[in-house]
Structure 1
């Protein structure tokens, strides 16, 4: 809210370019994601299935926000280095490899090793061994 007057003056009143679109998507996707995350934190105890879906949506919000930030910074570096296509191609290859690794780690077969404790909040997750002990 503090920077809203500057946002209106420098973003909303000017023609939309790629950098301003990334800025707007990043700003408001983060706002919606944080509101959603706050709502999840105050949910009463829910079933494992519902909790798993809520946490997946929260992870997707964070994942999309990270991609938008990476694209914005890539655009900035591309502009700073005088639009070097060689640098841009290297950054894109590295970025695609990182996105692939993050996707495999976040949504792969080993991503569901956490167990939700019944009767607790949705954000309390434990490993399977710890959940069995409790």
Structure 2
């Protein structure tokens, strides 16, 4: 790669990271008043702490990644720990989001134990497969003309290993999306949820969940493609921060919406609370 192509790829990588970070923190500021009003100004429940975990684990972790991208000294010895942290951080974020989404689908299916066992088994398998793939993958640090900033490069073999976790996320999102649509279809024939002009928590979970899954399936699919078809080794997986920040942001919106509805005194019409 010549110097011009290298600089262009480094700038593209940095801009995409910066866009993802800006998206996450700007949305945080926009919704901070609602967070305080509907979550922290009310009695705390388990959902409050789950919201905190989803929102602030990513909030703090992305600050660390931002520092490594734009302020850490460039070089293999100083950048390898940052790159390893970044990979396992994104994996941890997706695990948290997956657990929260699983809880929503579990509630949607009337707290069916079989659903919980199957989905939990898939998550455990995904965690193990992702850990193994990240352990065996090896990234190289880009030889940068700039003295600061850590950027890694992935050949096709290692890109395929790193992409395993994102492919599993894509599969799991697609599965939960399908289950949500199936439940919405089945609900059409249930008398207690047939009245569509009356808002219910059931409908909110279905509608919000469908929007979330639709956006994330598209985002994760695009991210997975970058691991295989990117013309630059620097840009393989470059959409991972955006996919991670998007999933956290949308998950926060889903939880905030449910808290807002709960505070307005709306109930799940099928009797589940």
Aligned residues: 127
Give the deviation of 1:6 after TM superposition. Answer: 1.1
Are residue 33 (structure 1) and residue 61 (structure 2) matched? yes
What TM-score do the two structures reach when normalised by structure 2? Answer: 0.43
TM-score (norm 1): 0.82
Rg larger for: 2
2:41 maps to what in 1?
13
The answer to whether the 8 Å contact 1:29/1:61 transfers is no
Inter-partner Cα distance in structure 1 for 2:47 and 2:98? 12
Return the offset for 1:85.
0.8
Q: Is the 8 A contact 1:26 1:65 kept in 2?
A: yes
1:47-82 residue CA offsets vs partner (Å, 9 max, x unmatched)? 312211011112222121111101110111111111
- The reply on whether 1:117 has 2:142 as its aligned counterpart is yes
Residues 142 and 151 of structure 2 are in contact (CA less than 8 Å); yes or no, is this contact kept in structure 1? no
Distance 1:56 1:22 in 2: 26
5+ unaligned residues in a row in structure 1: which ranges?
none
**1:115, distance to aligned residue in structure 2 (A):** 1.8
Cα distance in 2 for partners of 1:85, 1:38 equals 41
Instruction: Report if the CA contact (8 A) 1:117-1:126 is conserved.
Output: no
Cα RMSD after superposing both structures:
2.2
1:39-78 → structure 2 map (5 Å cutoff) = 39-43=67-71, 45-78=73-106
CA–CA distance in 2 between the matches of 1:24 and 1:63? 18
Contact 1:115 1:125 (C-alpha < 8 Å) held by counterparts: yes
Mapped partners of 1:64, 1:50: distance in 2: 22
Give structure 1 regions of 4+ aligned residues with deviation exceeding 6 angstroms: none
Please say if 1:2 is aligned against 2:30: yes
